[in-house]
Amino acid sequence: MTRASLREYAAVQRDRYQQASRREKHQLLDEIVAVTGLHRKAAIRLLRRAPRAPTVPARAGRPRQYGPDVAAAAEVLWQASGRIGAHRLHPFVPELLDRLIRCEELRLRPAVDKLVRQASRPTLARLLAPARVRRGEKRR
C-alpha cells in the first residue's frame, strides 16, 4: 500500500474511528491492521492525529540566481545581435547592454543589469534555450 493510498484510507476511517464506541474502535483497528499491515499502535496514532497538509518538496540544489527578468533581458540582447549563439554573444553583452540602454530600447533594474553582465556563457545558453525553442531554432 502506497503512502498516498494509506492517507486516503486513513482519512475515510478517521471519522468512523472518532465516532465509534470502545468495542467498535477495537473492531475497526483489527480491520485497519489487516488491510494496511501497520502495527496496532501506529494505526491508533494515524487515526487520532489530524491529517497533515501535503507538502511541496523543496527544489534540490542551490537557489536560482537568474530569474525571468534576466532571461527576458538576455533574449532582447540575443535578438538585437541577430540571434547568434550564446557563446558568441557573451563577449558583446556589456557593450550591447550599454548601447540598448543608451538608446532607451531596454530598461533594467540595477540588480538585473548586474546579473546579465555577470552571466557566464553556459548560463546565457541556459537562459536563451526557451526562446530558441519558441523560435523553432535547433541546436547545431
- Among 48-52, 54-58, 110-114, top mean pLDDT goes to 110-114
Which pLDDT score is estimated for 134?
A: 87
Q: How far is CA 57 from CA 54, 60, 123, in A?
A: 9, 9, 25
Whole-model pTM?
Answer: 0.57
Residue 85: pLDDT band (50, 70, 90) is very high
Give the span between the Cα atoms of 89 and 121, in whole angstroms: 8
